[in-house]
Amino acid sequence: MKLTGSVIKEQGVTFGVLLIKKPAFNTQSVREEARVAASSMPMFRNIPLVLACQDSGGRMTYSGRRDLANFLASVPVAAIPWKEYTVN
């Protein structure tokens, strides 16, 4: 399985961002499952995680720690250093 995400270090805080599809994003239980699954991945282990989804118009929505989600909302999506991760 391939996942798109990023590990960001900003103002002394390291956190992860994981891009998920809109239908999954709209369901709280599925968002929680995604957080649990991501926390088992080495790059997202022991750091706060923000989930992100993009609508058909390119608008991003974030779910996670409020300060981190608000920070990401102020950052252009192209400025996030997205990376594709392969998970077995």
* DSSP string over 10-52: ETTEEEEEEE--HHHHT-HHHHHHHHHHHHTSGGGTTS-EEEE
**pLDDT value of residue 8:** 96
pTM of the complete model = 0.88
pLDDT greater than 90 at residue 3 = no
pLDDT greater than 90 at residue 67 = yes
Between 9 and 1, the higher pLDDT residue: 9
Q: Which amino acid is at 43?
A: M
pLDDT greater than 90 at residue 17 = yes
pLDDT greater than 80 at residue 87 = no
Q: Determine the length of the chain.
A: 88
Average pLDDT over residues 32-46: 87
Matching CATH number, 2-86, of 3.40.1350, 3.40.1620, 3.30.70, 3.40.50: 3.40.1350
